[in-house]
Amino acid sequence: DARVTQTPRHKVTEMGQEVTMRCQPILGHNTVFWYRQTMMQGLELLAYFRNRAPLDDSGMPKDRFSAEMPDATLATLKIQPSEPRDSAVYFCASGLGPGTSGAEQFFGPGTRLTVL
Amino acid sequence: SQQGEEDPQALSIQEGENATMNCSYKTSINNLQWYRQNSGRGLVHLILIRSNEREKHSGRLRVTLDTSKKSSSLLITASRAADTASYFCATRPLTGGGNKLTFGTGTQLKVEL
């Protein structure tokens, strides 16, 4: 049963600490997306990779956020330093692309981040 | 920024009734998708409708698309308590953006026994 996995599922940290979230996309998927979901802003796209190359990270605060794909089976999202306003649920999704047939995105269970 | 706006924001119905949710968007699209999110979980893809399609069915789901009005609707027939979730529309742009999707604000559906 192929699915996207994310670790950790929950993270509580103090302001100023570094936070690293990890995602394992579905094997064979070549596109990876990072989203942030909050009550106020809804679901926002932070970064988008295809074949491990970043295509769009315009939604990501550059001064503190960074996203990478060290290899095809791992995507990371790092926040350094973290701030209380970063508290949210962070989702990773993967899919196939480009092309309409590969437009569906498969979401992981999310990482619930709380920054105190 | 959110391209899609769902209407209503919240909907409460009785089991067995039909639920209709609407989505409006702003720019030209390649396709529109509907996703479901159970509380505390990730989103799950339900159905995709292409810009040259007007209606699509999948089980108890029926989706319509009106590109002239830049709007779509999701109909869930004979609703069940298990359909309780949030429903999001997501649009893929006609040009540029690759497979990037822009999600709407969501409709919270509650189906009561």
Q: What is the pLDDT of residue A32?
A: 95
Cross-chain CB nearest to B103 (options A42, A102, A103): A42
Confirm or reject contact between A48 and chain B (CB < 8 A).
Answer: yes
Task: State the pLDDT confidence band at A58, using cuts at 50, 70 and 90.
Answer: confident
Confirm or reject contact between A43 and chain B (CB < 8 A).
Answer: yes
- pLDDT tens by residue, B29-80: 999 999 999 998 999 999 999 999 999 999 999 999 999 999 999 999 999 9
Q: Which amino acid is at B20?
A: T
Q: What is the pLDDT of residue B2?
A: 41
Q: What is the mean pLDDT of chain A?
A: 93
- pLDDT tens by residue, A11-28: 999 999 999 999 999 999
Cross-chain CB nearest to B41 (options A35, A95, A109): A109
Residue partners of B99: CB distance under 8 A and separation at least 6: A31, A50, A95, A97, A98, A99, A102, A103, A105, B92
Report the SS3 class of residue A9. Answer: coil
Nearest to A27 by CA among A7, A48, A1, A53: A1
Q: Could you please report the per-residue DSSP string of A31-96? A: EEEEEEEETTTEEEEEEEEETTEEEE-TTS-TTTEEEEEEETTEEEEEESS--GGG-EEEEEEEE-
Q: Phi and psi for A84 in degrees, rounded to 5?
A: -55, -35
Task: State the pLDDT confidence band at A65, using cuts at 50, 70 and 90.
Answer: very high
Q: What is the pLDDT of residue B3?
A: 56
- pLDDT tens by residue, A82-113: 999 999 999 999 998 776 565 799 999 999 99
**Whether B104 contacts B3, CB under 8 Å:** yes
CA angle at residue A100 from B34 to A4, to 5 degrees? 60
Confirm or reject contact between A2 and chain B (CB < 8 A).
Answer: no
Does residue B1 have a pLDDT over 50?
no
Lowest mean pLDDT among A64-68, B14-18, B93-97: B93-97
